[in-house]
Structure 1
Amino acid sequence: MKNKHLNSLWLAGLLLFVPICPGTIARAQISETSDTNASPKTFLKDELYFGLTKPGGETISESEWQEFVKEVITPRFREGLTILDGSGQFLNQGGILIRENSKIVILIYESSQEKNRAIQEIIENYKRRFQQESVLRTTSPVKVSF
């Protein structure tokens, strides 16, 4: 049953974002006087979807979320990250449509075992801290230039 829930969550995330995000390319603007190398590099982009509803119906507060970011995510990705507010839905194990607010964390980084391990630690910490069944993770290669 747990896999059915995860598959539903994954599919919901995929259906929400694939049609609007084909061929993702992230680019930061540089000034013409910059002497940095502007040739694109291939990095990985992870999107982590954190549901904000605890078992029993309570919601993870903004202060709880900010504390989690400060203590768990930021130390592992000091070079930067983006956090978006989201609102999603999925079918639970009983086939009931569940709607909940979420936080989406976007991480862009050079591929390494260390970064992959850091993301797994973030996910496991969140699940333990807030009694969550899962955190949706999507990973894709992106071309970036600075």
Structure 2
Amino acid sequence: MMPRKLRWILLCCLGLLLAGPLAAAPDATLHDDPAHPAAAPHWLRTELYFGMRPADRPRQLVSTAQWRKFLDEEVSPRFPDGLSVLEVYGQWRGKDQREIQRLPSKLLVLLHPDTPDSAAKIEAIRQAWKQRTGDQSVLRVTQAVEVSF
């Protein structure tokens, strides 16, 4: 009869041997797809926060159709491989304002390579929104991420 501790160690080793090849199997569906790399060093996650009240019409919300048109015309052509949009509540106080503004907002999440081209596209999106709505700002938060598809 084998001692309990030795039996436990052998079972663990056997489990690792059996699990190893399964864990290392590549995902053949996205293999060699540059838009969906297996490992993507030097990628960023950028969050853009959009207020849904135009500056010139503070009592009116940007409609779903207007937001969709903005995504279709300004965002998707620049980042066609994917993005995420979340509904969020926001508040802020703009330049020369005494009152805090509370408004529904959209959070756009982009995962992209850390390149000057990506940075320029993001700035173009921010400028396009400010031009369309008269907003003073589109908050941008960017951080390094490890991405794998």
Give the Cα–Cα distance (whole angstroms) in 2 for the partners of residues 99 and 114 of structure 1.
33
Larger radius of gyration: 2
Q: Counterpart in 2 of 1:86?
A: 88
- Structure 2 unaligned residues grouped into runs of 5+: 1-22, 32-36
2:137 aligns with one of 134, 139, 142: 134
Q: Give the match's secondary structure for 1:86.
A: strand
Q: Which amino acid aligns with 2:47?
A: E
Q: Which amino acid aligns with 1:85?
A: E
Shift of 1:95: 3.0
- Structure 1 unaligned residues grouped into runs of 5+: 1-29
Give the 5 Å matches for 1:12-31.
none
Give the Cα–Cα distance (whole angstroms) in 2 for the partners of residues 40 and 124 of structure 1.
28
Give the Cα–Cα distance (whole angstroms) in 2 for the partners of residues 71 and 126 of structure 1.
11
Shift of 1:90: 1.8
Q: Counterpart in 2 of 1:22?
A: none
Question: Taking structure 1 as reference, are residues 123 and 31 closer, same or farther at Cα in structure 2, changes over 3 Å only?
Answer: farther
Q: Which amino acid aligns with 2:51?
A: G
Q: Which amino acid aligns with 2:110?
A: L
Q: Counterpart in 1 of 2:73?
A: 71
Retained in 2: the 8 A contact 1:46–1:107?
Answer: yes
State the TM-score, normalizing by the size of structure 2. 0.71
Q: Which amino acid aligns with 1:34?
A: D
Q: Which amino acid aligns with 2:148?
A: S
Q: Which amino acid aligns with 1:128?
A: Q
Give the 5 Å matches for 1:46-125.
46-55=46-55, 56-57=57-58, 58-92=60-94, 93-125=96-128
Q: Which amino acid aligns with 1:46?
A: T
Retained in 2: the 8 A contact 1:41–1:145?
Answer: no
Q: Give the match's secondary structure for 2:82.
A: coil
- Aligned-residue Cα RMSD (Å) equals 2.1
Give the Cα–Cα distance (whole angstroms) in 2 for the partners of residues 62 and 105 of structure 1.
15
Shift of 1:34: 1.9
- Percent identical pairs in the alignment equals 31
Q: How many matched pairs?
A: 117
Give the Cα–Cα distance (whole angstroms) in 1 for the partners of residues 93 and 24 of structure 2.
47
Question: Taking structure 1 as reference, are residues 31 and 71 closer, same or farther at Cα in structure 2, changes over 3 Å only?
Answer: farther
